[in-house]
Structure 1
Amino acid sequence: MINALIRFSVENRLIVLLLVAIMSAGGAYSLINLPIDAVPDVTNVQVQVLTAAPSLAPLEMERQVTFPVEVAMSGLPDIEEIRSVSKFGLSAVTVVFDESVDTYFARQLVLERLAQAREQIPESIGSPEMGPISTGLGEIYQYELKSPDGSYDAKALRTVQDWNVRRQLLGVPGATEINSFGGYEKQYQVRLDPAKLQSFGLTMRDVFEAVSRNNANVGGAYIQKGAEQYLLRGLGLVENPEDIGNIVVKTGPEGVPVYVKNVGEIVEGSTVRQGAVTADGKGEIVAGIVLMLKGANSRTVVEAVKERVEQVKKSLPAGVELSPFYDRTALIDRAIATVEKNLVEGAILVIVVLMLLLGNWRGALLVATIIPLSMLFAAILMRAFNVSGNLMSLGALDFGLIVDGAVVMVENTIRRRAEAQHEAETLGHHENPQRTILESCIEVARPVVFAVAIIAIVYLPILSLRGIEGKMFVPMALTVVFALLGSLLLSLTYVPAMMTLVLRGKVSEKESFLIRWAKRAYIPAFDFVGRYRAQALALAVGLVAISGAIFPYLGSEFIPRLDEGDLAVQVQRLPSVSLEESVRNTTEVEKVLMEFPEVKTVISKTGRAEVATDPMSVDFSDLYVALKPHDEWTTTEDKTELVEKMSEALERRVPGAIVSFSQPIELRVAELISGVRSDVAIKLYGDDLKVLKEKADEIVRSVQAVQGAEDVKAEATSGLPQLQIKPDRAAIARYGLNVEDVNDMVESVVAGKEAGQVYEGEQRFNLVVRLDEASGQNVDAIRNLLLTAPNGSRVPLAQVADIQLVEDAAQITREDTRRRIGVELNVRGRDIGSFVEEAQAKIAREVQLPPGYYLKWGGTFENLQRASQRLLIVVPIALFLIFVLLYTTFNSIKQALLIYTGIPFAIVGGIVALALRGMPFSISAGVGFIALFGVAVLNGVVMVSFINHLREEGKTVLDAVREGAETRLRPVLMTALVASLGFIPMALATSAGAEVQRPLATVVIGGLITSTLLTLLILPTLYGWVEKDREGEFTEDEI
């Protein structure tokens, strides 16, 4: 079949070229429309269930909301994890599904169970709703609204954001939610005076029911008049504060009405805030966050948002301005620029090497055309399989591997044509170029297919990865396999067809000066190793042993940290802090950071937004620190050093705040995937919140002493001050009151009860009934609130309830239906693997856990463990498959094992290269080792198959080994050079995203150096040793 395909291509080259042109057009279209992002979206398949109950404490949220939701979700199929957090006014339950589950199907499953959960949740508390269909990479665009002339205050700006800007941006394709943050959400309030209520003999419930009854429109169908019909409408909605004030609550004995305005005032207030946004140390702003739909093209969505923003600006009221402060395309452009630079430089190096080694510029240019054509072919399959173009999927392409098949084809054809021309001149007849090209291509077709098969098998372990590592590296493996498949098809069709055009004239096989120089150095070295064979083999085994001894000292980490260019700073305070104090404290932090000349702007989010996808409380702030371009830095040139200087300045000038540093995307993705915001999380599980807190503090003290531990802190689970009002059932019974009367009073002090809405055109605002400001100013005022008994007497709240100021839970975190507390920390200055190993031993010695309590380690360390365990299983399986392939090809266990010696020698170079560059072992480096195995085996196959071929022609083992080693020097060097040079730009890159690519490239380059030396020096020597007594026994077909 392969031979027939090559023959068809040579005989029908115009058809082949036409098909290649069509493929190129399709590839160009796919490339233009390929989803582009900086990094792969590694967020797991999850659905958030959010329930807002603005007045409930964390314990009530857990008991009445979180627990029923968790129970309802527990029986769903394919669930991996359920975790939740209950805070003041919010319950957030995250249901994580297996990766095989479609996101929309998962949401459908959750939606069905929500109906069951709602039946268990009191109607007055709130209704659980699903969060937006977004991911850790969803926050793609953020902006602020401001009023430079001061004509709009924070409440007016928030109204413009909610009812003008947000509604227009929601229409952008790919935008799933526009989250408003900061400012004051407008609300109409009826603020009742308790004294006036009592003077009129009214209760708060009377006013609430009166307002509710007097704020509605109704329809009465229609009446018919002659040939026409008239709709009936009853218009009873209130339209302004005057309408509300004129609602009659009751009529007195003499027929005198008591209006709402007689017992309180009607004002334009604001809802109870749970968050605020500040900027650059200058105070509060109103912000908007654009969340992208999961799976959408971030570059396309951002561009569409920008276009819509320009339209929105035209519709803004005079005195209001909109300006962006975060735009994902900046990071995307930087990352893609890194990929483009590395790919272009790698392609140029490969082309130059091909020209130098092939000795034929036409053949070299033909091979070079495989690079863009393979990319276009890969783009078609990437779009078909929904693989986005990003730092990982495109950044790991090695053009040296991609052109390897074409190099074999062209190199063999040049050699065969030169021999055929020489023979024709000697015998005096004409050579048939087309026939020679056809025969030369068929001769090496099987080795070319075999090479691709080996590389594809080598990438099988990567395709088996799951979780965050799978989402990062599987797209890379798929892209490489797609490009290799394209290269194979092109090598079997396009290359033979083109060679009949570009190599049909006189062809001479010239040795380039590089090959001549290499031979002059190689042959004496080969002879030296042959003379001292035992010593050379002992040295080789010693190098393997030394590298094995070095490996444990490399350390380990999951994936090198991608430099996003900006910083994310987290500030944590005491749980008892108020929102106003948090805002003041955050403003001070901003001022300190703005003093660094490297900082462009600082935007802080304290607490949570209206759509609480990030459920922070008011004691917690996230700061987005946008940095200037690196060439404008003056304090330091190193980002780690800059972070240390910032940390020192904040510790000195803003005492009392616990500060930690991360990066925007990294922080959000880590939280969504594992529920923590740090490199390493120590999760302690148990039932008693007090015991959990005590043991977490012990762990903090223990782990702080471990070298490399930074930003160590335990989750703030306690210390939230509460004024608890517990009805005295005996007392309320004496006065003829109910618990509901007391609870109504408690609920109405600040938050109020919603009695309807006020419509202003298309805008609508809640209308609540609450007590006036004086009633809830302090504890004494609340103690003295008066309840009206059925007999008309007035009873102070303190007489019918026990009122105490206590500290209770600030938040309750649960995983898999158990309470847990987390100790979070970042690791700087050492690898995560060795840090965790030391920390685990220290905690085991110093912290004793009660029965029923246990620890789990999470964060990136958990990802590293999971990926390592999977690779330990699938890598040996892939190596075994390669061995089977080698055995079926050579029909010899000895020769299969002989070729296999290339793998440990390749590992030697990879380990030494990591050690020399001071890089720990990571999954990126592991992927580099996997890719390296394929090239190492290929070089051995090239050498052994040619030596076998020479022996089949009748040469002795020693003669075959020597001639084979000398003849295959150029192909082996060419394969190694083009493969390694394609990675050199990646290994040396310092721009955005290079951190993830450098270990992979370093391993491949280092490993190729040692495996090539093995193939050229040790492998032939070993071959002569093991085959010296098996003269002439080969009967296999030519490889």
Structure 2
Amino acid sequence: MNNEGEGPEGQSFLNGIIYYFLSNKLVVAIAVIFIIAWGIMSAPFDWNSGRLPGNPVSVDAIPDIGENQQIVFTEWMGRSPQDIEDQITYPLTVSLLGIKGVRTVRSYSFFGFSTIYLIFEESEGFYDSRSRIIEKLNALPTGLLPEGASPALGPDATALGQVFWYTLEGYGEDGRPAGGWDLDELRSIQDWTVRYALMSAGGVSEVASIGGHVREYQVDVDPDALTAYGISLSEVFNAVRMSNIDVGAGNMEINKVEYIVRGIGFVNDASDIGESVIKDYENSPVRVKDVANVTLGPSMRRGALDKGGAEAVGGVVVVRYGENPLEVIKNVKSKIAEISRGLPRKVLSDGTVSQVRIVPFYDRSGLIYETLGTLNVALVDEILVTVIVVLFLLMHIRAALLIAGILPLTILLVFIAMKLFGVDANIVALSGIAIAIGTIVDMGIVVTENILGRLRSADAGESTLKTVYRATAEVAGAVLTAISTTVISFLPVFTMQGAEGKLFKPLAYTKTFALLASVVVALSIMPAVAHLLFKKKKRGFNRGRVAAAIFVAGIFLAAKSFFLAGVVLILIAAWTAFSYRLSQRHRDRVKRVVNPALMILVAVFLTMHWRPLGYASPLWKNFMFTFFLLGGWLMFFRFFRRYYEVILRWCLGHRKVFLSIPLFLVLFGGMIWLGFDSYTGFLPAGIRSSKPFVAMNHSFPGLGREFMPSLDEGSFLYMPTTMPHASIGEALDILHHQDKAFSSIPEVESVVGKIGRVDSPLDPAPISMIETVINYKSEFISGDDGRPLRFRFDRKSDEFLRDNDGKLIPDSGGQPYRNWREGIDSPDDIWREILKAGKITGTTSAPKLQPIETRLVMLQSGMRAPMGIKVKGPDLETIEGFGFQLELLLKRIPEVNPDAVVADRIVGKPYIEITIDREKAARYGLHIRDIQNVIETAVGGRRAGTTVEGRERYPIRVRYKRELRNTLEAIGSVLVDSPGGRSVPLSELSDMDFVRGPMVIKSEDTFLVGHVIFDGRKGMAEMEVIEAVKRVLDSRIEAGDLVVPDGVSYSFAGTWENQVRSEKKLAVVLPLALLLIFLILYFQFKDVSASILVFSGIFVAWAGGFIMLWLYGTSWFMDFSVFGIDMRQLFQIRQYHLSVAVWVGFLALFGIASDDGVVITTYLSQVFKSRRPSTPDEVREAVVLAGTRRIRPALMTSATTILALIPVLTSTGRGSDIMVPMAIPSFGGMTVVMITVFLVPVLYSYLAEGRLKKASIPRPEDD
């Protein structure tokens, strides 16, 4: 690379780009304005963009990592699960198995409906698969399904799309609950007004109803009256059916006017049905009301909703596949505001006006805003930390502002790229930006530091533009190499498939976007800005204009609530305007004061924004902690830099001792990862069983493995089950009792429970399944972004002040209000209180689940727990029996939480089976169909039509009176009319028995299946639990204690399968990525030895990441308090298992671990080329010279990477559960990898001295 010329003639394409932007600052200015405007428009954060039209990136809390699936739903009301399975589910499953791209078919047969999940390969398009299913359903052969059963495709959404749940409640004009509405009234309002209004909101796929009573016209027939009039049940049914019809009679012309003719015959109320004529009896009409009671009552229901212990009516809004959930929720809320004024109202008996109001109880937007708020806070904190680090190490205000300026521009470029490439913004995707902050800044540091160095050493007559260009071009290759290694390190993420691919590919995209954007900004925009900031200025050269512009910007920021930032700019404006009047000596003095003052000012701003000790601690304590924490690290870096030469010389003189340190770190890190036994497995069993070896195995068993850490959603989903025989009334009683108990917990904000299913194919739940959404209060009363609010506080009485209504008084200078009691320190503590309150006889326990987590688990495995065993067998009784055996065994395994082990109660539903005696039926001349029609109509009720009442529609149902069909004896007395005119009791035509049958029938690929779900004890990794269960089951089977019945097989399933699949993929792809990194290093240095030197830093960093994970899992690490705050709790120090999130953190580490080595090795090569040392002493002096010249940028890049991660490690908001595990490997690895600033020079000198010795050995002369 030729860097001598001022222009790019004859130089590389990259240098040409650098020179072009450096010479055309108007282009740079336009580009910056364009990036800022477009980036703000595309930003996922709820920024006030003013007049700029918002077109944000699609936003959700976490990615939809569920299977690529479609639902085929078939309703056949009144039919048992066995009938549904035999006549609908099985034939449909067989037919749908052959659709192209189908991987698995999961089928469920419930009472009255069938749900079939078709799991497609990930390569199949969502809407393409829907088209294929529709084609297949349309081509089903005639007679495959029973009459009246019509399969339909489910909504174009997944269960994760259930983003907004609400209830309908009556509120008074004072804004308080007023009640006064019956459940059937609220259900009608929901079904015919609210549901369709919300479905019209943009992006909504479905609005499903739940709870209350659907109105139904009930014709309850009296069999004695039928006998008296000689009327059959079928005649009543036909009369009702034929009394509800409108017709059209065309049109006619009268006096040249066209009239449309209608025959009006729809029933308007129950009396219209009662007046319908059945037949003429002795010259008098017999009407329906003469033989039956006609009323408007509740229809049979298979689901109910409860809020705080009382029945409620509500609905759920489902987002269409591919839509922006946050925007859809906004559209729904806008629609709610639009229709709220027109919702029905009534005057109650006490004169209160009660109007129906839509009250949300689960709103995904809150979680979205909180996760975005957590990331927003982390990003701002990281930027401020970076400014402090650069100010401290460079002691150059303009350079610090220049480097800090690269961050917002880079982030805005990332938002633009996300919008262009369709990458959704969520906690995982945006974490890619958070963990890339250090690397983004590194690019700016390397370029800026080299520019400053070149400007200091430049000739007096050399133009500033030429110096800036040469300095930028000099490091451009190293910058590209460093970025390339980091980008390459994330290639394994792009190869991930399934859930892990959906989860982390967005992160890989955003991190790649961030790295590429940082290169673009560092090599095109920064040099131009640096030229403006650092060029030699003549006295009075545009100072007034520049100072005025900075002053106006400062006033603007101060007015927009960015007070401290505004003050900083105002001070810079003052310095710009008047500094030239001072002598050089006075300017130097002022700088020595201004730099520390500015650092303290930024530290105060960081403290106010970060609050590391929490909002309960006063500001001065937070500031002192921030000051000493960052100051301690920075002083460490300062002393490291000061004594670097001394330490390096010692290392060069004691190579073997020094090299044993990184070797020990690598071996120790490997032992932490794989376990002590992996190093000693080759030793004899006697040695390995000795006390020291057993102790080491116990201390270093290897890291546990799991798929993903759980995301704290701010709410729990309590999902126990009742006994299969429980009726809807019994299940409701249990639900009422549990919800009242949950509501009594002080930390719980709201409780809404559901039994059964909502009216949607997305919710195939039996009556026995309880789902209770428990929203708990945040630790402190917080705003939408998750940051605590402050309220007026009286320090004398140590109490919060309240207004006349008893409400807290907002006060920006007050204290945050803590919602949780003493002793409640985490959501786990709240969950334990919930488990205690939820214990009721007749219900199972429930695994710890959350709304989104549950939907994802069920979408992936078809089970309602993250771990389970699928038992397949020839019949349901055998499957259930073996499942019970497994349940008993699992409860006794130490690694398993016994309260979470539940086997399916499959064959426990009581059935009344009416078996027709064909011989007896033949005697009376009756067909089987005739008898079955009577059973269906008299006992179950048969739909005879639907009323049309404006927009509303209600069914008409004919059946016997309740008291004549609610016992076995009453059913036996049902009369069947024979062709001979005789009414025969059903008991004379059939046998009736009580039997046990299935509540739900599950199958996979047509094979019957049952589930045994379980969970691990707290602190146990998923893979440890699974492996322990496998060992126990295998040993019991081998010992004969557990006998697997003939035809039965079992397999483990759950989210851990994603971990296994990702590990297998990483085992292949990760070495390839490391090889590519090595090749990039080789292309940079054109030397295998130099490339190996730099590459060695990756292994040291790898070990550092594992060591930090181990330290986090120990009980003594950081076990002390500062100002009464536990440091373990502050830094969230607990055991972290080796999840995919942690591996992604390692991948991020691999890319940046070699950066310091690249910087130092590049300069080492330059120094050796210029000096050409010929003796070992000269080699060591050259190494020391190169090291001391490049230690500052190397330390700065390490310092920014390490310190910028501290706010992430201490973040506690929504989403921190995922960010922290990703940050730990980078923090630990970069802390340890600082040893490479010694390792690379030592190895480089060792190789160079070896070459000298080799060259000094005289060659033997040829014979």
User: Secondary structure of 2:946's match?
Assistant: strand
Q: What letter corresponds to residue 902 of structure 1 in structure 2?
A: G
Higher mean C-alpha deviation, range 333-342 or range 104-113:
104-113
The yes-or-no answer on 1:205 pairing with 2:237 is no
Moved more, 915-924 or 29-38: 29-38
Q: 2:35 aligns with which of 1, 20, 23?
A: 23
Mapping for residues 48-447 of structure 1, pairs under 5 Å: 48-117=71-140, 119-147=142-170, 151-225=180-254, 227-252=256-281, 254-281=282-309, 283-318=310-345, 319-322=354-357, 323-397=359-433, 398-420=436-458, 423-424=459-460, 430-447=461-478
Counterpart code for 2:101: D
- Which residue does the alignment assign to 1:1017? 1238
* Post-superposition offset of 1:306: 2.1
| 3-state SS of paired residue (2:846) | strand
Q: Distance in 2 between matches of 1:30 and 1:479?
A: 14
Q: Is the CA contact (8 Å cut-off) linking 1:343 and 1:395 kept in structure 2?
A: no
Cα distance in 2, alignment partners of residues 62 and 197 from structure 1 = 36
Q: 1:881 — aligned with what? A: 1076
- The equivalent of 2:1029 in structure 1 is 839
Task: For residue 6 of structure 1, report the CA deviation from its aligned partner.
Answer: 0.9
Q: Which AA in structure 1 matches 2:711?
A: L
Q: Which residue among 1139, 1143, 1159 is the counterpart of 1:922?
A: 1139
Per the alignment, in what secondary structure is the counterpart of residue 660 of structure 1?
coil
Q: TM-score normalized by structure 2? A: 0.78
Report Cα offsets for 1:820-868 as digits up to 9, x if no partner: 1111122231221211111111122223323543322222211211222
Kept after mapping to 2: 8 A contact 1:544/1:908: yes
Does 1:870 pair with 2:1051? no
**Number of the residue aligned with 1:12:** 24
Are 1:522 and 2:712 an aligned pair?
A: no
Is the partner of 2:304 in helix, strand or coil? strand
Shift of 1:617: 0.9
- Which AA in structure 1 matches 2:153? M
Distance in 2 separating the partners of 1:661 and 1:583: 22
Aligned to 1:735: 924
Structure 1: gaps (5+ residues): 425-429, 1035-1039
Q: How does 1:288-687 map to 2 (within 5 A)?
A: 288-318=315-345, 319-322=354-357, 323-397=359-433, 398-420=436-458, 423-424=459-460, 430-505=461-536, 517-552=639-674, 553-630=702-779, 631-634=818-821, 636-651=824-839, 654=841, 656-687=843-874
Give the corresponding residue for 1:427: none
Quick one: which amino acid aligns to residue 292 of structure 1?
V
> Equivalent residue of 1:341, what SS?
helix
- CA shift for structure 1 position 774: 2.0
Inter-partner Cα distance in structure 1 for 2:1007 and 2:665:
51
Q: CA deviation at 1:760?
A: 1.4
**Deviation digits for residues 716-740 of structure 1, max 9, x if unmatched?**
2110100011211121111111111
**Secondary structure at the residue paired with 2:1246?**
helix
Equivalent of 1:1006, from 1228, 1237, 1243?
1228
- Shift in Å at residue 308 of structure 1? 2.1
Separation in 2 of the partners of 1:575 and 1:120? Answer: 33
TM-superposed deviation, 1:149: 5.4
C-alpha change, 1:108 and 1:584, in structure 2 (3 Å) is same
**How far apart, CA to CA, are the structure 2 residues paired with 1:749 and 1:782?**
9
| Partner Cα separation in structure 1 for residue 915 and residue 720 of structure 2 | 34
> Judging changes above 3 Å, is the alpha-carbon distance between structure 1 residues 655 and 788 closer, same or farther for their aligned structure 2 residues?
closer
Shift of residue 99 of structure 1? Answer: 2.5
Q: Deviations over 1:109-134 (max 9, x none)?
A: 22222223484554534222222222
Counterparts in 2 of 1:688 and 1:654: CA distance versus 1, 3 Å? closer
Deviation at 1:782, TM superposition (A): 0.5
Aligned amino acid, residue 208 of structure 1 = F
Aligned to 2:1247: 1026
> In structure 2, what is the Cα distance between the partners aligned to 1:649 and 1:189?
40
Equivalent pair of 1:681/1:824 in contact (CA under 8 Å) = yes
C-alpha distance in structure 2 between counterparts of 1:357 and 1:137, whole Å: 48
The 3-state SS of whatever aligns with 2:901 is strand
**Percent identity for Structure 1 against Structure 2:** 32
Letter in structure 1 aligned against 2:372: I
Corresponding residue to 1:848 among 1035, 1038, 1043: 1043
Whole-Å separation in 2 of the counterparts to 1:325 and 1:352: 43
Q: Deviations over 1:321-345 (max 9, x none)?
A: 3222222222122211111111111
Cα distance in structure 2, aligned partners of 1:686 and 1:141:
39
The residue aligned with 2:1170 is 953
Aligned to 1:1029, what secondary structure does the other structure show? helix
Distance change in 2, residues 1:777/1:935 (3 Å): same
Retained in 1: the 8 A contact 2:479–2:519?
Answer: yes
Alignment CA distance shift 1:136-1:526 (3 Å): farther
Return the alpha-carbon distance in structure 1 between the equivalents of residues 841 and 1198 of structure 2. 56
TM-score (norm 1): 0.95
Check 1:122–1:772 CA distance in 2 against 1; reply closer, same or farther (3 A cut).
Answer: farther
What secondary structure sits across from 1:474 in the alignment? Answer: helix
- Report the CA distance shift for 1:471/1:138 in structure 2 as closer, same or farther (over 3 A): same
Distance 1:927 1:314 in 2: 50
* 1:819 partner SS: strand
Distance 1:442 1:659, change over 3 A: closer
Distance 1:118 1:645, change over 3 A: farther
Q: Deviations over 1:995-1018 (max 9, x none)?
A: 1111111110000111121x1122
Instruction: Give the aligned partner of residue 1037 of structure 1.
Output: none
One-letter amino acid of the counterpart of residue 24, structure 2: N
Deviates more, 1:368-377 or 1:74-83: 74-83
Q: Do the aligned partners of 1:134 and 1:294 also contact (CA within 8 Å) in 2?
A: yes
Alignment match of 1:803 (pick from 982, 992, 997): 992
Checking the alignment, whether the CA contact within 8 Å between 2:61 and 2:367 is kept in structure 1 is yes
Q: Distance in 2 between matches of 1:621 and 1:1004?
A: 42
| CA distance in structure 1 between the aligned counterparts of 2:1105 and 2:938, rounded to whole angstroms | 68
Task: Report the AA paired with residue 653 of structure 2.
Answer: R
Aligned partner of residue 481 in structure 1, secondary structure: helix
Amino acid across the alignment from 1:338: T
Partner of 2:6: none
Residue 526 of structure 1 aligns with an amino acid whose one-letter code is L
> Kindly tell me: are residues 408 and 671 of structure 1, through their superposed partners in 2, closer, same or farther at Cα, counting changes over 3 Å?
same
Is 1:716 matched up with 2:901?
A: no
Shift of 1:677: 1.3
In the alignment, which residue of structure 1 is the partner of 2:951?
762
Post-superposition shift, 1:226?
Answer: 5.9
- Looking at structure 2, the residues matched to 216 and 574 of structure 1 have their Cα atoms a distance apart, in angstroms, of 44
Gap runs ≥5 in structure 2: 1-12, 44-53, 171-176, 346-353, 538-583, 596-633, 675-701, 780-817, 1037-1041, 1114-1135, 1174-1178, 1256-1263
Please, which of 802, 811, 823 is the counterpart of residue 1012 of structure 2? Answer: 823
Q: Is the 8 A contact 1:41 1:136 kept in 2?
A: no
Letter paired with 1:681 = G
Farther off after superposition, 78-87 or 231-240 = 231-240
Tell me, yes or no, if the aligned pair for 1:190 and 1:265 is still in contact at 8 Å: yes
Matched-pair contact (CA < 8 Å) for 1:570–1:621? yes
Distance 2:670 2:934 in 1: 73
Match of 2:1206 in 1: 984
Alpha-carbon distance change, 450 to 539 in structure 1, aligned in 2, over 3 angstroms: closer
Instruction: Determine if contact 1:72/1:116 at 8 Å carries over to the other structure.
Output: no
SS in 2 for 1:493: helix
